[in-house]
């Protein structure tokens, strides 16, 4: 029999998965409320994971926020020197997305190829994470995989577009959780669990919470269980490596203070005082009230009518009153990934082990679980989940539309002749010339790098934000890059060098 190609392999796996899980599909004759909800969660989670890649590459979302600087660093073939040596605790993201993209740009000689490769490798992470989770999960009905899809659909759209390293941490959490519980015992299994926990821990400092949560879930098997001892031992080794990396590769003096300040505000409650949080809360509250009333009059269809009513109200709001855009706060929503992902992971592990007959007994839990799988509860959840998905879809559409217009405005300044010499050079132009409404999409510290990229790497002007107080490149680093042989034209790198030397 001829060997399967990579693409054919995944097709065969998908077909096999459909056959194995036919009972959970909505059109199955033997379906239950829980089966329908499970299928809905899996389908929406997978759809989002595919949409992330398609939308990101179509609208160049790898250029948004800090991504403009990361993309420029890839194109300039200096990712490590530009910034990543300052954040050695996020080495996994560098190795899995930025470094390969930089090598690709060098190989092709085209800076844009590297930028696209970086965008693809970063935004495909949730999809690859779900596929890996499906492969590693051996629980009944693949409960961990279902929770992974749920978490992807519920959390990732909130940060989608901003290149926070927690994006990759979330993607790695779920297959690591499944591996910790279901990879076979033995030397190979131990090595795999260690490597996966290490990769997770080195995505972001907040990912240590996720890694420790995975180890904690193995205590559900009992502290004498070999899988708990394996996970605990691997985690000790991971922490030793993590500390050594941080000690051997500390951040530069300029960034050390910045990182401390950022860490102190990571769990700031004000993070969640944004329009989308209020919109979701109001939508779900309205849906819950409508469902409770309608279930008395149209049982079996209350979730459909309640969802329809909320959708109409949301449409009126979006078309008539909504002026907000979830843009820069996508970055701050990363905090939610650190808080909610472990919670979902604990639930996933508990229910997976319970289905396998391994979890500890909890009084009244069986009755609670039966209630959750009854038709009316499943219907209520399905309707609420669809409302949340609708809100995310519309908010994403508004974001990418505004982002497209903002990129065009930056490009117009970059290739134009307007200038503001008072900024330090006759080849600089102020981003304040952009309409205030559009400028909501700006990220003050990376505008100059964005202008180089959207100016086809040969801009007439470097677009800079006069209010910028955070400068990524030192004069020394920018100068070294400007003198090297890179894919970006020397004149453009000289503009960046001039700007950097004015401030650092």
**Statement to judge: residues 351 and 463 lie in one domain:** no
- 3-state SS string over 365-426? HHHHHHHHHCHHHHHHHHHHHHHHHHHHHHHHHHHHHHHHHHHHHHHHHHHCCCCCHHHCCC
**Statement to judge: residues 346 and 467 lie in one domain:** no
Identify whether 115 is part of a domain.
yes
**Statement to judge: residues 116 and 57 lie in one domain:** yes
**Total structural domains within the chain:** 3
**Statement to judge: residues 1 and 123 lie in one domain:** no
**Statement to judge: residues 207 and 235 lie in one domain:** yes
Q: Which helix (H) or strand (E) holds 356?
A: none
What CA–CA distance (Å, rounded) separates 60 from 115?
Answer: 9
Q: What DSSP letter does each residue of 114-161 carry, written as one string? A: HHHHHHHHHHTHHHHHHHHHHHH--SGGGHHHHHHHHHHHHHHHHHTT
**Statement to judge: residues 453 and 467 lie in one domain:** yes
Identify whether 450 is part of a domain.
yes
Identify whether 388 is part of a domain.
no
**Statement to judge: residues 355 and 411 lie in one domain:** no
In order of 26, 250, 266, the CA distances from 253 in angstroms are 57, 9, 21
User: Per-residue confidence of the chain (504 residues) as pLDDT tens digits?
Assistant: 444 444 444 444 544 544 444 333 333 333 567 788 899 999 999 999 999 999 999 999 999 999 999 999 999 999 999 999 999 999 999 999 999 999 999 999 999 999 999 999 999 999 999 999 999 999 988 999 999 999 999 999 999 999 999 999 999 999 999 999 999 999 999 999 999 999 999 999 999 999 999 999 999 999 899 999 999 999 999 999 999 999 999 998 888 777 777 666 677 777 788 999 999 999 999 999 999 999 998 988 999 999 999 999 999 999 999 889 999 999 999 999 999 999 999 999 999 998 888 866 666 555 555 555 555 688 899 999 999 999 999 999 999 999 999 999 999 999 999 999 999 999 999 999 999 999 999 999 999 999 999 999 999 999 999 999 999 999 999 999 999 999 999 999 999 999 999 998
Identify whether 269 is part of a domain.
no
Identify whether 286 is part of a domain.
no
Q: b vs e for 463-486, b when ≥16 Cβ sit within 10 Å of the residue's Cβ?
A: bbbeebeebbbbbebbbebbeeeb
**Statement to judge: residues 110 and 23 lie in one domain:** no
Identify whether 319 is part of a domain.
no
What CA–CA distance (Å, rounded) separates 148 from 41?
Answer: 9
**Statement to judge: residues 57 and 154 lie in one domain:** yes
Domain of residue 122, residue span? 35-249+335-362
What count of other Cβ atoms lies within 10 Å of the Cβ of residue 205? 21
**Statement to judge: residues 149 and 6 lie in one domain:** no
| Nearest Cα residue to 63 out of 435, 310, 407 | 407
**Statement to judge: residues 358 and 442 lie in one domain:** no
Q: Distance between alpha carbon 243 and the CA centroid of its chain, in Å?
A: 25
**Statement to judge: residues 238 and 192 lie in one domain:** yes
């Amino acid at each position: 029999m001829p060997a399967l190609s990579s693409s054919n392999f995944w097709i065969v796996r998908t077909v096999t998965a459909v056959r194995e899980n036919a009972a959970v599909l909505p059109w199955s004759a033997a379906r239950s409320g829980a089966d329908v909800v499970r299928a809905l969660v899996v389908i929406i989670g997978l759809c989002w994971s595919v949409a992330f890649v398609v939308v990101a590459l179509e609208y160049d979302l790898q250029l948004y926020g800090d991504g403009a600087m990361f993309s420029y660093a890839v194109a300039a073939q200096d990712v490590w020197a530009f910034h990543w040596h300052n954040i050695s605790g996020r080495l996994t993201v560098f190795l899995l997305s930025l470094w390969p993209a930089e090598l690709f740009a060098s190989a092709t000689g085209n800076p844009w190829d590297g930028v696209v490769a970086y965008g693809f490798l970063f935004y495909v992470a949730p999809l690859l994470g779900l596929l890996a989770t499906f492969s590693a999960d051996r629980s009944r009905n693949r409960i961990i995989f279902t929770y992974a899809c749920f978490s992807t659909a519920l959390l990732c759209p909130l940060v989608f577009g901003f290149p926070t390293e927690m994006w990759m941490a979330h993607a790695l959490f779920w297959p690591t959780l499944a591996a910790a519980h279901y990879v076979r015992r033995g030397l190979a299994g131990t090595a795999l669990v260690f490597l996966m926990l290490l990769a997770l821990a080195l995505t972001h400092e907040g990912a240590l919470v996720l890694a420790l949560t995975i180890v904690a879930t193995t205590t559900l098997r009992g502290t004498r269980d070999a899988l708990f001892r394996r996970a605990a031992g691997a985690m000790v080794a991971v922490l030793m490596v993590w500390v050594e990396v941080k000690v051997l590769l500390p951040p530069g003096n300029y960034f050390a203070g910045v990182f401390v300040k950022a860490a102190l505000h990571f769990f700031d409650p004000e993070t969640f005082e944004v329009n989308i949080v209020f919109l979701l809360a109001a939508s779900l509250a309205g849906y819950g009230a409508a469902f409770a009333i309608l279930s008395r009059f149209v049982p079996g269809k209350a979730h459909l009518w309640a969802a329809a009513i909320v959708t109409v109200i949301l449409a009126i709001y979006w078309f008539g009153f909504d002026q907000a855009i979830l843009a820069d706060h996508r970055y701050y929503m990363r905090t939610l990934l650190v808080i909610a992902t472990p919670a979902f992971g604990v639930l996933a592990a508990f229910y997976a082990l319970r289905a396998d007959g391994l979890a500890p007994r909890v009084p009244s839990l069986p009755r609670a679980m039966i209630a959750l799988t009854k038709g009316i509860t499943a219907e209520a959840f399905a309707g609420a989940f669809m409302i949340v998905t609708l809100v995310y879809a519309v908010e994403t559409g508004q974001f990418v539309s505004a982002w497209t217009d903002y990129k065009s405005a930056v490009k117009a300044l970059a290739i134009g002749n307007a200038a503001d010499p008072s900024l330090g050079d006759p080849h600089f132009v102020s981003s304040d010339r952009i309409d205030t409404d559009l400028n909501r999409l700006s990220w003050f510290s990376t505008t100059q790098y964005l202008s180089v990229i959207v100016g086809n790497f040969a801009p007439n002007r470097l677009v800079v934000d006069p209010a910028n107080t955070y400068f990524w490149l030192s004069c020394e680093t920018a100068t070294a890059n400007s003198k090297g042989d890179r894919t970006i034209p020397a004149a453009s790198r000289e503009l960046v060098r001039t700007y950097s030397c004015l401030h650092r």
